[in-house]
Amino acid sequence: MGARAAAPGAPWWRPRHAVVLPSTATSLVLTASGGVLFVAAALTVAAGAGAWDAALYRDLNEVPSAVATFLTPLSRLCLLGGLTMAIALLLVYVLLRNRSAFPVVIGAGAAITALLAANLAKVIADRPRPYEVVAHAILRQQPAHGTSFPSSHTAVAFATAIALLPFVGRPVAVAGILYAALVGWSRIYLGVHYPLDVLAGVGVGVAVGGVALLVTVRALRGTRDDPGTRDDPAPRGPDP
């Protein structure tokens, strides 16, 4: 899809590029699924899943040196600096593509909300970092701040990627989700999170992203007569 002029009478903040809105049901399912995933991970940790969680952590953290030679530089792309840069570039992209600050507000709001929610959960859960308690754990970054459950990096990555789905083309949407998954893997490989921490972070991110989609649908569906706004399941083109 190409850029378009604003429809007559459209609010000034409306995106100037075609937007594909998810259904309200889809947004609600995402929100609920994320919440269920987070609660399931939290209950599993509370029930004492430390042994198998630690075993899976070792499998993903302790890899042969030849493999680590390739994986370590890849994981560096997901450190705080890399994640911040990726989100900043994505926000600049949606700003230029849509010629509107609305997607930027949605994306930044989702990232901040996910970060706050994850940090609140960290305080409540108070789970030690794996490198503090797991024998022979390999820490491939500086010691992390705060506690382990859930992964805030993963939560922020998924929340941002999902919140911005209506405002990007399919290639960028796929790349965003894949990068979020890479962030989740990297937190285990770098040594700072258990797998259940990452799973809970995915839950937080999906739930917050679903809420952001609900906000977008509520804000933009009021102008459904605008030809640049349509509902799923119309297929998305290859527009980047």
Long-range contact set of residues 47-53: C-beta below 8 Å, sequence gap at least 24: 49/196, 53/194, 53/195, 53/196
DSSP 80-92: HHHHHHHHHHHHH
pLDDT of residue 221: 81
Residue type, 100: S
Tens of pLDDT along the chain (240 residues) come to 333 444 555 677 788 888 889 999 999 999 999 999 999 999 999 988 878 899 999 999 999 999 999 999 999 999 999 999 999 999 999 999 999 999 999 999 999 999 999 999 999 999 999 999 998 899 999 988 889 999 999 999 999 999 999 999 999 999 999 999 999 999 999 999 999 999 999 999 999 999 999 999 999 986 544 444 555 544 444 555
pLDDT of residue 136: 87
The answer to whether residue 234 sits within a structural domain is no
The answer to whether residue 231 sits within a structural domain is no
Residue in the block written with tokens 């040594």: 191
The answer to whether residue 238 sits within a structural domain is no
Q: Is the peptide bond before 150 cis (omega within 30 degrees of 0)?
A: yes
> Structural domain of residue 60, as residue ranges?
19-223
- Tell me if the pTM is above 0.95: no
The answer to whether residue 112 sits within a structural domain is yes
DSSP 167: G
The answer to whether residue 216 sits within a structural domain is yes
Question: How many separate helices (H) and strands (E) can be counted in the chain?
Answer: 9, 2
d(CA 164, CA 190): 27
pLDDT of residue 229: 53
Q: What is the CA radius of gyration of the chain?
A: 19
The answer to whether residue 9 sits within a structural domain is no
Domain total in the chain? 1
